[in-house]
Amino acid sequence: MTADARIDADSDRAIVDRSVDQLLVEIVGLSADDVAAFEENTELFGALPEFDSMAVAQFLTALEERLGILIEDDDVEAEDFLTYGRLTAFAERLALG
């Protein structure tokens, strides 16, 4: 991989991660300060009352629209929503695949 390709991949990853952060604020209703403080192992689904099954469904729809992707049922695993790191990895996998 060339340096330019690495920069593009890092830039694309940053765009996806920023989109996840924005949707956690806009769709789930978390505060921007809380989301900014999330670490890879910050627990989400099951730990945050705002991030329930309805919020997950709305989040997925908004993620499709924001990133211009189609999320199939087979793409989604419950574990993808357990932590912030898993959620961003899920979005990156689908968007940058």
Q: What is the pLDDT of residue 64?
A: 95
Q: The pTM is what?
A: 0.88
pLDDT at residue 14, as a whole number: 93
Containing structural domain, residue 31: 3-96
Q: What is the pLDDT of residue 45?
A: 95
Max Cα-Cα span within the chain: 43
The residue ranges of the chain whose pLDDT is under 50 are 2-7
Alpha helices in 1-97 (DSSP H): 3-26, 32-36, 53-67, 84-96
In this prediction, residue 91 carries a pLDDT of 96
Our count of domains for the chain comes to 1
Q: Would you tell me how many other CB atoms lie within 10 Å of the CB of residue 76?
A: 14
DSSP designation for 46: T
Q: For residue 87, give the CATH number of its domain.
A: 1.10.1200.10
